[in-house]
């Protein structure tokens, strides 16, 4: 893991940086603005944008540039490789509909979990994170559920490669405390979290343990703590999360 190679291609990096800049700025943007933001000359930005346009990842209109919708292919085809997504997606939809809260499917990748599919409630709060945005393992319910579903030696291997930094006041930043916590939830089927990544947001998660051909995954329901609490959270919601998790597990044969 993590053997950072020194031989890299600089121009690819700047191209990707430019593309990311386009995506982060939520409106069409011009060459000079990008040049200032990325700190390269205008002509360079122009060349990279032309390249990205030719490849179909950027569109050009009225001296302004925007990320192209074709960027969706990369991700949609990548996640379509995951059996847990292909089989589990509809179950996430029903989980969101049944609980009327945001339901998400997470998959372990490297030392992070990545939300692979987010089903939003018909109305109300939706998660701040995006599909594809890596999240740390230790600041949320699905991450902890996944860790508890892995063999202990794999967990230590993962945790040895990351540092525990505080996101909110509720984040566990002490390694021993975290190890102990994971041991304690090892026999549980459901993991709760309260505001360890986003203040005022609670979550219920259940892991889908890895197998021969499937990566470690987890499903979760998130919501604002004022609308998701008490027995409703710990019994109703948790029960539904658990039953959907079992159902997805069963479908993976």
Partner DNA sequence: TAAACCTGTTCATTCGTGCAGAACAACGAC
Partner DNA sequence: GTCGTTGTTCTGCACGAATGAACAGGTTTA
Binding site for DNA (CB under 7 A): 3, 5-11, 14, 30-33, 40-44, 46-49, 60, 63-64
List the beta bridge partners of residue 108: 113
CB of 198 to its own copies, least distance (A): 18
Q: Which does 63 bind (CB under 5 to 8 A by kind): its own copies, DNA, none?
A: DNA
For residue 130, the 8-state DSSP code is P
33 binds, among DNA, its own copies, none (CB under 5 to 8 A by kind): DNA
At its nearest, how many Å lie between its own copies and the CB of residue 148?
21
Q: How near is the Cβ of 143 to DNA at its closest, in Å?
A: 27
What residue 19 binds from DNA, its own copies, none (CB within 5 to 8 A, per partner kind)? its own copies
Closest CB to DNA among residues 48, 79? 48
Q: Which does 114 bind (CB under 5 to 8 A by kind): DNA, its own copies, none?
A: its own copies
Shortest distance in whole angstroms from residue 86 CB to DNA: 27
**The three-state (H, E, C) secondary structure of 142-209, written as one string:** HHHHHHHHCCHHHHHHHHHCCCCCCCCCCCCCCHHHHHHHHHHHCCCCCEEEECCCCCCEEEEEEEEC
Give the helix ranges, DSSP H, for 4-140: 10-24, 31-38, 42-55, 71-79, 83-99
User: Among its own copies, DNA, none, what binds residue 131 when CB lies within 5 to 8 Å by partner kind?
Assistant: its own copies
Q: Cα 201 from chain centroid? A: 16
User: Which residues would be at the binding site for its own copies (CB under 8 A)?
Assistant: 4-5, 7-9, 11-13, 15-16, 19-20, 23-24, 26, 46-48, 50-57, 59, 67-81, 89-90, 93, 107, 109-110, 114, 116, 120, 122, 130-134
Question: For residues 181 and 172, what is the distance between their CA atoms, to the nearest angstrom?
Answer: 9
Question: In the complex with DNA, which residue's Cβ is closer, 8 or 122?
Answer: 8
Nearer to its own copies, 21 or 243 (CB): 21
Rounded distance between C-alpha atoms, residue 139 and residue 119, angstroms: 21
Give the closest residue to 96 by CA, choosing from 225, 220, 247. Answer: 220
The dihedrals phi and psi of 223, each to the nearest 5 degrees, come to: -170, 170
């Amino acid at each position: 893991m993590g053997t950072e190679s020194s031989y890299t291609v600089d121009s690819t990096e700047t191209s990707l940086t430019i593309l990311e800049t386009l995506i982060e700025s939520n409106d069409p943007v011009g060459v000079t603005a990008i040049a200032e933001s990325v700190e390269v000359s205008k002509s360079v930005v122009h060349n990279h944008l032309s390249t990205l346009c030719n490849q179909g990842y950027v569109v050009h209109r009225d001296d302004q540039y925007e990320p192209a919708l074709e960027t969706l292919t990369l991700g949609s085809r990548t996640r379509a490789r995951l059996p847990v997504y292909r089989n589990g997606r509809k179950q996430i939809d029903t989980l969101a509909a049944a609980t009327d809260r945001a339901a998400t499917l997470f998959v372990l990748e490297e030392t992070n979990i990545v939300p692979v599919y987010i089903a939003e409630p018909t109305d109300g709060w939706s998660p701040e994170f995006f599909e594809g945005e890596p999240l740390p393992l230790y600041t949320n319910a699905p991450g902890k559920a996944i860790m508890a579903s892995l063999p202990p030696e794999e967990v230590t291997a993962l945790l040895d490669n990351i540092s525990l930094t505080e996101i909110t006041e509720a984040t566990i930043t002490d390694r021993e405390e975290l190890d102990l916590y994971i041991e304690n939830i090892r026999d549980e089927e459901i993991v709760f979290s309260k505001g360890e990544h986003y203040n005022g947001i609670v979550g219920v998660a259940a892991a889908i343990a890895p197998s021969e051909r499937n990566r470690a995954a987890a499903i979760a329901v998130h919501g604002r703590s004022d609308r998701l609490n008490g027995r409703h959270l710990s019994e109703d919601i948790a029960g539904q999360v658990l039953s959907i998790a079992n159902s997805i597990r069963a479908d993976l044969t």
